[in-house]
Structure 1
């Protein structure tokens, strides 16, 4: 099995189109098709279902894609490791993050990294924690900053960064705001909730806290960005349960501690591949983080 065959296979799987993949790889379409056929002959199974408009993966193709991405990530890490030994950090650093992550100021960290390693191309992607974990495990991201996840230690290392309790945000005229006292999940049982998509860390932390308390809740207003969440609460359309550091983003809202959810209900982590698959750029970024680039309050 040749690496170029795997590279061609991954490109077609990503683009779902032979012509577009060939243009991106700067190879002829006939050469790309021959490469895929050679791979299918070697594996003795079709990898794609071909139509006139697009191609989709077969079950065997989906199984191969995850392994091919991991193999290519390890090969890339090997090339970059050799360059690092020679004294120059090159290549690409692909980083993933959730919105408004605590424990690290991502923009400042990447700026400091660029100053130290100008020959490394930085790529940034923003997703929810579950998707970020999948991307790192598959080798499509070098590392990510996310909410804690359960992970296979052979594929993913979970490095704790910081923990904090959850806070309830509500409009100053909300019934709970006047008391100004900590609240429990039971106190919020009948409230209208504003929250993130289920994949985002704050939503996962809140869902877990309410499930542990045995309180059922319904998210009526679901968003995918912090500012929309704060705007909806600011219009008194619902309450939100968020990590404590969110209270600084909209001082006009009332912030109430949420009791009975543990000392650190929300934990920020770095998701890093297994040591053999960790690129030199990812190691350099983590070393930079450990030297004091964290910002625990934003």
Structure 2
């Protein structure tokens, strides 16, 4: 099998015009360079150099091989430099997908922590709906990311990290006195967000599956893009919506809104996703590790709901509103 050492000896001998000069460049004995080239010629069953003159010259076979050998060495050297750089996290880029509501899960502080530890590493955080994040990982546009389940995961490895309960939100306290059924939800005047992805959005996807099993359809009155805008409309008594515990527990959640759980509890399951067949760069692997630790710490720090056995972020505001 042809080795990089054989190709390097061949390329250096051609570049410098002699085995002796190539040996000096490679810091090996002249006999070693000659032997490497000889073995390469045997494997290819072709003579690569015209020997006997003062300067080595290539045969037709050698001229044919040269650009491929140079290309192989360049690729190997570039790969080695990239790995060495990332091995110490002294360079490279961490490419990672995050949910658009990432700030509710303290992921902004994650970026600050990563940058303080590895200031030479560039960070690319792509914030989008989980359906698009999953597709981007599968296509190789993003190395890994945090997603909300369910997603299409045919080419992905998915590691669930935390469940965050989703609640019904209304400005009318009468609408939240009891847990809401999927039939009641389908009859409500709804303001739903993530309009671009619609029913491909993971949370909406769960609701649609429940509605289908119940034989009803969910048809929102208003659809917009962001949860913050939906909450403002709910505060204005335009309609009702849904939100996760992390959103409800945030400082931006309107104070006068009321919450109720679903009769069959509904959860956003946050997971780490990566391509099944592609190794992560060291930079992205380290970022993913820190992201996983951040999410797991949220799960540990928040109390689980008593008597259910379910792990959930249950904010004080949501608990007191029930």
Change (3 A) 1:77 1:183: farther
Aligned partner of residue 183 in structure 1, secondary structure: coil
Using the size of structure 1 for normalisation, the TM-score is 0.64
Query: Partner residue of 2:22?
Result: none
Inter-partner Cα distance in structure 2 for 1:115 and 1:121: 12
Structure 2: gaps (5+ residues): 1-77, 300-312, 316-322
Q: Deviation at 1:114?
A: 0.8
Inter-partner Cα distance in structure 2 for 1:223 and 1:244: 20
Inter-partner Cα distance in structure 1 for 2:103 and 2:181: 23
Change (3 A) 1:80 1:202: farther
Q: Deviation at 1:166?
A: 2.3
Asked which structure has the greater CA Rg, the reply is 2
Change (3 A) 1:284 1:242: same
How many pairs align? 215
Inter-partner Cα distance in structure 1 for 2:258 and 2:284: 39
Structure 1: gaps (5+ residues): 1-75
Query: Partner residue of 1:98?
Result: 99
- On the 8 A contact 1:185/1:213 being kept in 2, the answer is yes
Query: Partner residue of 2:257?
Result: 253
Q: Deviation at 1:286?
A: 2.3
Query: Partner residue of 1:295?
Result: 298
Change (3 A) 1:204 1:81: farther
The 5 Å alignment of 1:80-159 reads: 80-85=82-87, 87-101=88-102, 104-148=105-149, 149-152=151-154, 155-159=155-159
Change (3 A) 1:290 1:190: closer
Using the size of structure 2 for normalisation, the TM-score is 0.59
Deviations 1:147-196 (A, max 9, x none): 111312xx3211111113321000136x414xx11111122232111112
1:168 matched to 2:168? The reply is yes
Query: Partner residue of 2:188?
Result: 191
Change (3 A) 1:111 1:209: farther
Aligned partner of residue 203 in structure 1, secondary structure: helix
RCO comparison, higher one (Cα < 8 Å, 6+): 1
